[in-house]
């Protein structure tokens, strides 16, 4: 389907749009928490997918590549609308907090862990948040993340390791300040 679309077959993109639009809209809604905005963002993502499809390398999974475009489109939207980007991302990562931190956090209540995670993520780069989100929320493989972001597999592993280490360091600093 992707290859047909890249060769200029107009009906092929229609099939991609039909197949992935619900996935895109659901992900957009999870970021912006507004049905109308999610619908508009899903359309924007589909336009970006259409325009960028000739550059898509068939090495990556299409779904992973589309997720990366969706993520960046939603983050741009949140920034432009001065909404809290970190709040949206941290809500998605909150359930993964025990996997991300080396220390035991089971005793934290959900609301407190969400607030804490939001504070910690505010201190991280957008790329660090994206890699953690793709790995721990979307359950993407290292290979898929690597292909979606266009960097080497070892670079993804190192960036993931650094993001987790930074998150753990920030958490340890937070605990010592308490």
Unique residue bearing structure tokens 């507004």: 34
Asked if residues 53 and 2 have their Cβ atoms less than 8 Å apart, the reply is yes
* Phi and psi at residue 129, to the nearest 5°: -65, -45
| C-alpha torsion 73→166→84→41, nearest 10 | 10
Look up tokens 């898509």; give the residue.
56
User: For the whole model, what pTM was predicted?
Assistant: 0.56
CATH fold of 95-178 = Arc Repressor Mutant, subunit A (1.10.10)
Q: Where in the chain is the domain with CATH 1.10.10.10?
A: 95-178
Q: Where in the chain is the domain with CATH 1.10.1740.10?
A: 1-88
Which residue is it, tokens 């996935």?
Answer: 23
Looking at CATH, the fold of the domain delimited by 1-88 is given as: Rna Polymerase Sigma Factor; Chain: A (1.10.1740)
Q: How many Å is the Cα radius of gyration of the chain? A: 17
Per-residue pLDDT of the chain (178 residues; tens, 9 = 90+): 666 655 566 677 788 888 899 999 998 988 787 889 999 999 999 999 888 887 777 777 888 888 889 988 988 887 777 555 555 555 666 666 666 666 655 555 554 666 777 777 778 877 787 788 778 777 788 887 887 777 888 998 999 999 889 988 888 888 787 6
**CA dist., res. 17 & res. 22, Å (int):** 9
């Amino acid at each position: 389907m992707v290859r047909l679309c890249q060769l200029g077959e107009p009906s092929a993109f229609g099939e991609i749009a039909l197949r992935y639009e619900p996935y895109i809209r659901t992900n957009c809604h999870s970021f912006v928490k507004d049905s109308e905005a999610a619908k508009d963002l899903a359309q924007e993502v589909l336009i970006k997918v259409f325009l960028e499809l000739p550059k898509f390398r068939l090495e990556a999974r299409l779904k992973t590549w589309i997720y990366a475009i969706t993520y960046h489109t939603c983050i741009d939207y949140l920034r432009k609308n001065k909404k809290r980007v970190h709040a949206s991302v941290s809500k998605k990562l909150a359930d993964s907090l025990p996997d991300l931190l080396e220390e035991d956090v089971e005793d934290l209540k959900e609301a407190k862990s969400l607030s804490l995670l939001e504070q910690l993520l505010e201190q991280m780069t957008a790329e660090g948040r994206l890699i953690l989100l793709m790995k721990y929320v979307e359950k993407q493989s290292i290979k898929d993340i690597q292909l979606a972001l266009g960097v080497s597999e070892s670079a993804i592993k190192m960036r993931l390791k650094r993001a987790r280490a930074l998150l753990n360091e920030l958490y340890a600093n937070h605990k010592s300040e308490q």
